[in-house]
Amino acid sequence: MIAGGKVVADTYAYEIKGSVYINLTNECTNKCGFCLRSRMDGVAGYNLWLEKEPTAEEVIAQMKKYSDYSEVVFCGFGEPMLRMDTLLEVARYAKSTGKRVRINTNGQASLYHGRNVAKELQGLVDCVSISLNALDAARYDALCHSIFGKKAHKAVLEFASECKKYVPEVVLSVVDILPESEIKKCEELAEKMGAKFRIRHYVGQ
């Protein structure tokens, strides 16, 4: 189906390399200049533009199409933590079937919802991977264009600190479009916070 100039589908769960990824929404608090959504309709042959946002039941139904996977990853074509209720319900199902659960997020969920959502992940999420992307607020704003402006970067760091209390593994990541010196400083910041660090590869045109 075509809507708003985009071909849309109902891909709520999709499999890549033995993990099932969950696509809850196309909404996001950022408009990152390096975001795949400005150049592609999806990844790995899956169209991830949604005609509508799914219920937990619809997501779980699609997950059941895949039998041989060990990890569930909330990482679609939007910010999954905008839909906390649905995310938690799906995560609860995934844990009940013995799966590892990871969230890839921009780290602004607590700011968006107006509460500390990190503690809601306890017992349901094994890893939170947070897109740090910059060392300071001005640089982050220039790269990520959050609806929260320069407040976003501080919120990301606060969210990461809170996740350390409730989630076994916390990862801070940056895209490799940054200068090497800035990447190194971001790595040092992650180390100081007690988080792991990952460099994500920029997928160009």
Q: Is the model's pLDDT at 205 over the cut of 50?
A: no
What would the mean pLDDT of 110-125 be, rounded to a whole number? 98
- pLDDT class of 6 with cuts at 50, 70, 90: low
The confidence score (pLDDT) of residue 67 equals 85
Lowest mean pLDDT among 40-49, 55-64, 87-96, 99-108: 40-49
Instruction: Quote the pTM value.
Output: 0.93
Number of Cβ within a 10 Å radius of residue 129: 21
Percent pLDDT > 70 in the chain is 94
Domain segments of the chain: what residues? 2-200
Architecture (CATH level 2) of domain 2-200: Alpha-Beta Barrel (3.20)
State CA 24 to chain mean position distance: 10
Which SS3 state, helix, strand or coil, does residue 56 take? Answer: helix
What would the mean pLDDT of 177-185 be, rounded to a whole number? 92
CA atoms within 13 A on the CB side of 12: 20
